[in-house]
Structure 1
Amino acid sequence: MKTFIIIFFLIITTSFAQSFKLTEDPKSHKPMLIGNISLEQLKDSSFYWWYNSEYNFYQIDQDALNEIKNNLFEDLRIKIFFGTWCSDSRRELPRFIKILDSLKFNKVNYELIAIDRDKKGLKDETEGWNVELVPTIIFLDKDEELGRIIESPEESLELDFETIIKKKSR
């Protein structure tokens, strides 16, 4: 019985373990998220000002959005590595999320991974992904990488997204 209680306690405590951490950026001394996060953490008061203003201000290219819709496929997965401390991430992440929202892209098919200035997450989230700059948005067909948007898009988020997912149909 004692063994059962110990095992039960371990299972319960690990199931409630946080997948993210709110900490202080050692350079700016401002709040910084690290780890796998949800959009709710970005909508927290510490990040609200930059996330919501950029999200609301961004105007989506509707023609490109329609092309993306025509080329979306069921197994598309997206990993988004970003830093709450990074100006490029603060600009591109809300815009990209607005595009995903406009596509009604299923939230279970993308992962938000906040990393620190050393490009490390809370655990080993960056291991094997070769993340050197943020944001890094990785498009996957199941486990096969189709392409990336790194730091800022080459043309626009929509056109780069479209170009990458069209690789699936080639």
Structure 2
Amino acid sequence: MKKILVILSATLLVACNSSKEKNKVDKNPSKEMISENTKEKMNDTVPYENSVMLLGKANRKGLEMDAFKDWFNPGYSDYKMDSETLEQLKPLLKDVAITIFMGTWCEDSQRETPHFYKILDEANFDESKLTLITVSEEKTTPQGFEDEKNITNVPTFIFYKNEKELGRIVEYPIVSLEKDMLAILSGQEYKHAYAE
């Protein structure tokens, strides 16, 4: 099965957008090809190009694995935060849950996800309220975590309060992660990059 997955591994997309282009061959592992025992795993990897990608539920430890630390660690440590906006964010994050959909293969995810983690750390966000879902290039997981979530581009950061979506940042922030988060969490009008 690993040989099949290696053969089916796709090349890196320049943009991490919806891949509904005509004549696109699905080169990602299908739900049927991933063994049933991956359904409950955390930080599960599957072959991808000359390395691996995370697929399914993950956490910070997964992003710090050898295959991903070369972009996660410097992206985290080198990010310069807007400390004034961060102070305004701190009280607004207390009753919020966040779900991140991202692809370890995606340059936009590799850029934004470490920055997002640093912002949450500096805001003393309770990481137990954070769900990280890593997807294939087709924005899917074997477990269907993306079902009914309208994930067309990654990364997608979704903010919830009382289980109701407050808003989302899709692929890249409009102003900055901190300012976009503040707009969403403070109830200001906010449209992500792909909002109609």
Pairwise same-fold verdict (TM > 0.5): yes
Q: Distance in 1 between matches of 2:134 and 2:72?
A: 14
* Equivalent position amino acid for 2:46 in 1: T
Deviation digits for residues 117-137 of structure 1 (CA, Å, limit 9, x no counterpart): 011013010011000000000
Shift of the alpha carbon at 1:20? 4.3
The answer to whether the 8 A contact 2:43-2:62 is kept is: no
Gaps of 5+ in 2: 1-36, 189-196
Larger Rg belongs to? 1
Deviation digits for residues 14-73 of structure 1 (CA, Å, limit 9, x no counterpart): 8x9414420122xx3431000011111111111010000110100110001011014333
The answer as to 2:68 corresponding to 1:50 is no
The answer to whether the 8 A contact 1:136-1:148 is kept is: yes
Q: Distance in 2 between matches of 1:64 and 1:143?
A: 25
Answer 1 or 2: which has greater helix percent: 1
Tell me the residue number matched to 1:65.
86
Q: Distance in 2 between matches of 1:56 and 1:149?
A: 22
Shift of the alpha carbon at 1:145? 0.7
CA RMSD of aligned residues (A): 1.7
Q: Distance in 1 between matches of 2:62 and 2:99?
A: 17
Tell me the residue number matched to 1:21.
44
| Identity over aligned pairs, percent | 34
The answer as to 2:169 corresponding to 1:149 is yes
The answer to whether the 8 A contact 1:21-1:122 is kept is: no
* Equivalent position amino acid for 1:126 in 2: E
- TM-score, normalised to structure 2, is 0.73
Which of 27, 30, 38 is equivalent to 2:59? 38
The answer to whether the 8 A contact 2:99-2:133 is kept is: yes
Q: Distance in 1 between matches of 2:115 and 2:55?
A: 20
Tell me the residue number matched to 1:79.
99
The answer as to 2:153 corresponding to 1:130 is no
Q: Distance in 1 between matches of 2:68 and 2:87?
A: 30
The answer to whether the 8 A contact 2:93-2:125 is kept is: no
Tell me the residue number matched to 2:18.
none
Counting matched residue pairs gives 151
Which secondary structure state, in structure 2, belongs to the residue aligned with residue 66 of structure 1?
Answer: helix
Q: Distance in 2 between matches of 1:83 and 1:37?
A: 11
